[in-house]
Structures are given as C-alpha cells and as structure tokens.
Structure 1
Amino acid sequence: MEDIFVVKRCNRIIIHGRRAGESSHQPPEAAVWYRITDTRTQGFIGDGYDLEEDALHVCQQLNARSQVSERQG
C-alpha cells in the first residue's frame, strides 16, 4: 500500500533585520526545511522541521496510524 504522508523539502529565505541607527545588515540567507504533505489533499500537516530525520520520523508515525485505521474500517 502506498504511503499517504510524505516528506517534502521546501526552500526558505531567512531575512535578517536591522535596528534603528544601523546602516547595514546581513544579506538574506537561503535555507531549507521539511514539511509533511498529505498526498490525498496536497495539504501540509503540522509545522515544518529543520531536520529531515525529524520529519521522516513523524511521517512514519502518521503512516503507521493511517494504515491501522484503514484496516479497522
């Protein structure tokens, strides 16, 4: 059976602000984060994760729960 929830790698830009009186600031920084996607709705589940391992762990738990509920139903 195919997994319902999958981990998706997303780009993000971190913008560093500056305080009043400062003439320069750091440039924007490119980074990535990981989100869990529901393949049925293409919607995101929960918050994003900085580490792919954390997202994969939660994703595996969600898929395990969804398979148990489908078998019972």
Structure 2
Amino acid sequence: MEDIFVVKRCNKIIIHGRRAGETTHQPAEAAVWYRIADTRTNGFIGDGYDHEYDAQRVCRQLNARSQVMVRQG
C-alpha cells in the first residue's frame, strides 16, 4: 500500500529588515523547510517543519494511523 502522506522539501527566502536610520542590512538568505503533503488532495498538513527528521516522524505517524483506519473500515 502506498503512503498517503509524504514529506515535501520547500524553498524559503529569509529577508532581513532594517531599522530607520540604518544604511546597510544583511542580504536575503536561502533556506529550506519541510511540509507534509496529502497525495490524495495535493494539500498540505500542518504548518511545516524546519528539520526533515521532524517531518518524517510525523509523516510516519499519520501513515500508520491511516492504515489502521483503512483496515477497520
């Protein structure tokens, strides 16, 4: 049985602001975050995770629960 929930890697850009009167500021930096995607709806579950292992752990829990529900139903 295929997993319903999968971890997707997403790009994000962190913009550093500056206060009034400052003439220089730090450049934007590229980073990644991880989201759990529902393969049935192409939607996302939750707010996202900074670390892949956190997203993988939650994803495994969701898939385990969904398999139990399928077996019972």
Into which bin does the TM-score normalised by the smaller protein fall? over 0.9
| Structure 2 counterpart of 1:62 | 62
1:42 corresponds to which residue? 42
Structure 1 stretches of 4+ moved >3 Å: none
Residue 27 of structure 1 corresponds to: 27
TM-score by length of 1: 0.98
Partner Cα separation in structure 2 for residue 42 and residue 28 of structure 1: 29
Alignment partners' CA distance in 2, 1:7 and 1:40: 14
TM-score, normalised by the number of residues in structure 2: 0.98
- The percentage of aligned residue pairs carrying the same residue is 82
* 1:1-53: CA deviation from partner (whole Å, max 9, x where unpaired): 00000000000000000001000110100000000000000000001101000
Partner-residue secondary structure (3-state), 1:26 = coil
Q: SS of the counterpart of 1:18?
A: coil
Query: In the aligned structure 2, how far is the partner of 1:72 from the partner of 1:66?
Result: 10
Aligned length: 73
**Separation in 1, partners of 2:44, 2:60:** 15
Long gaps (5+) in structure 2:
none
